[in-house]
């Protein structure tokens, strides 16, 4: 097994309340995996368990094949994390936070400067953190998570409080680090943003994993559509119905995409009947739609 992270049948209760129920998923090296689900689904709880922050009733968590528990943290030397909100000492400056946690004795100076430049936080890094805004604290938290060049990075709601420019910079940085081999597990409610990042997605609801799937598979399973505008929509509809092609119940002519050469045959068909195609749009269902569908149907993966 060469997953960087494996979670097997994880069960966790707070008192009598079961919060995680047989949670299993895995993360392969170099991937960006999104962890999504409604509020209170258990995303933060999973991440904390991976970081050995509390006991769980049963199950296994392996990082690089080594078991993690509240009393066994050794494998976490390769992990960086930001959970919920960044922990910040108000009496230290941003740079002092980085100095505090920079692990690698020989490269600490470069590491610190490197992450400051990458996250573009130079302008306020030498001010006391007491006076930081929400987004400034968030960026410092991300800097701390990435500081020691971890192999696995766990980010809980990393875009929280970031402006659009900072969000894009963070996205670019994550993609750049992934190219260099870093693995990410990211939870976020900003699906449009997550969509641009992740290779794989793990969906959790009410403490249970509903689905783990690659992004392509997810959007395929929910379908892509062709939306046609023609010189004579009325006639086109009739032609399609006569040919037994299923149309969606919408005002435009919308056809579920089944294969790549499908469009060619549709054009052929219409021109045979003297109808011209004016415009074709490819419509992909976005992550949000797919996810809402999934949560509505609760089609639990076997």
Please give the residue ranges that form the binding site for another protein (CB under 8 A): 14, 48, 51-55, 70-71, 73-77, 79, 81, 83-92, 96, 99-101, 103, 144
Contact present, 215 and 253 (Cβ < 8 Å)? no
Rounded to 10 degrees, what is the CA torsion of 104, 108, 111, 115?
110
Among Mg ion, ligand ATP, another protein, none, the one that 101 touches (CB under a kind-dependent 5 to 8 A) is another protein
Task: Using the rule CB under 5 A, give the single segment among 15-23, 38-46, 70-78, 254-262 that binds Mg ion.
Answer: 38-46
**Paired strand residues for 229:** 279
Question: What is the smallest separation between the CB atom of 14 and ligand ATP, expressed in angstroms?
Answer: 3
**Paired strand residues for 186:** 34, 155
Q: Site size for ligand ATP, by CB under 6 A?
A: 10
Rounded to 10 degrees, what is the CA torsion of 276, 282, 288, 289?
50
Task: Using the rule CB under 6 A, give the single segment among 35-43, 90-98, 211-219, 288-296 that binds ligand ATP.
Answer: 35-43
Which one of residues 5, 19, 119, 136 is an interface residue with ligand ATP (CB under 6 A)? 19
The 3-class secondary structure across 181-214, one letter per residue, is CCEEEEECCCHHHHHCCCCEEEEEECCEEEEEEE
Which one of residues 44, 96, 178, 262 is an interface residue with Mg ion (CB under 5 A)? 44
Which one of residues 31, 33, 45, 185 is an interface residue with ligand ATP (CB under 6 A)? 45
The residues near 168 (Cβ < 8 Å, ≥ 6 apart) are none
User: Taking Cα atoms as reference points, which of 279, 221, 283, 274 lies closest to residue 250?
Assistant: 283
Which one of residues 5, 41, 83, 153 is an interface residue with ligand ATP (CB under 6 A)? 41
Among Mg ion, ligand ATP, another protein, none, the one that 126 touches (CB under a kind-dependent 5 to 8 A) is none
**DSSP secondary structure, 40-82, as one string:** TSSHHHHHHHHTT-S--SEEEEEETTEE-BTTB-GGGGGEEEE
Which one of residues 42, 75, 86, 150 is an interface residue with ligand ATP (CB under 6 A)? 42
Task: Using the rule CB under 6 A, give the single segment among 42-50, 72-80, 99-107, 247-255 that binds ligand ATP.
Answer: 42-50
Among another protein, Mg ion, ligand ATP, none, the one that 74 touches (CB under a kind-dependent 5 to 8 A) is another protein
**Count of beta carbons in the 10 Å neighbourhood of residue 185:** 28
Nearer to another protein, 76 or 166 (CB): 76
Task: Using the rule CB under 6 A, give the single segment among 23-31, 38-46, 166-174, 177-185 that binds ligand ATP.
Answer: 38-46
Residue 43 found at the interface with ligand ATP (CB under 6 A): yes
Question: What is the smallest separation between the CB atom of 87 and another protein, expressed in angstroms?
Answer: 3
The span from the CA of 116 to the CA of 236, in Å, is: 59
Residue 14 found at the interface with ligand ATP (CB under 6 A): yes
The span from the CA of 119 to the CA of 122, in Å, is: 8
Residues in the chain, overall count:
302
The span from the CA of 229 to the CA of 252, in Å, is: 7
Nearer to ligand ATP, 79 or 83 (CB): 83
In the complex, which residues of this chain contact Mg ion (CB under 5 A)?
44
In the complex, which residues of this chain contact ligand ATP (CB under 6 A)?
14, 19, 37, 39-45
């Amino acid at each position: 097994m060469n997953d960087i992270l494996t979670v097997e049948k994880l069960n966790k209760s707070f008192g009598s309340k079961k919060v995680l129920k047989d949670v299993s998923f895995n993360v392969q090296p170099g991937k960006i995996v999104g962890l999504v689900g409604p509020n209170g689904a258990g995303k933060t709880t999973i991440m904390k368990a991976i970081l050995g922050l509390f006991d769980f009733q049963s199950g296994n968590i392996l990082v690089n094949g080594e078991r993690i528990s509240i009393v066994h943290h050794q494998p976490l030397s390769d992990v960086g994390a930001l959970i919920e909100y960044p922990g910040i000492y108000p009496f230290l400056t941003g740079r002092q936070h980085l100095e505090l946690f920079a692990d690698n004795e020989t490269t600490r100076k470069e590491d610190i400067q490197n992450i400051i430049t990458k996250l573009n936080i130079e302008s306020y890094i030498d001010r006391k953190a007491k006076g930081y805004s929400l987004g400034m604290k968030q960026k410092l938290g991300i800097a701390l998570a990435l500081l020691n060049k971890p192999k696995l990075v766990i980010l809980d709601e990393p875009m929280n409080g970031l402006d659009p420019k900072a969000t894009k910079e963070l996205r670019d940085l994550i993609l750049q680090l992934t190219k260099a081999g870093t693995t990410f597990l990211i939870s976020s409610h900003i699906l449009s943003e997550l969509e641009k990042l992740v290779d794989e997605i793990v969906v959790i609801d009410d403490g249970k994993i509903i689905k783990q799937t690659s992004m392509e598979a997810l959007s395929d399973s929910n379908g892509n559509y062709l939306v046609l505008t023609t010189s004579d929509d009325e006639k086109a509809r009739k032609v399609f119905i006569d040919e037994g092609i299923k149309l969606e119940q919408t005002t435009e002519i919308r056809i579920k995409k089944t294969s790549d050469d499908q469009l060619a045959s549709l054009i052929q068909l219409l021109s045979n009947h003297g109808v011209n195609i004016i415009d074709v749009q490819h419509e992909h269902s976005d992550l949000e739609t797919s996810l809402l569908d999934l949560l509505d149907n609760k089609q639990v993966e076997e």
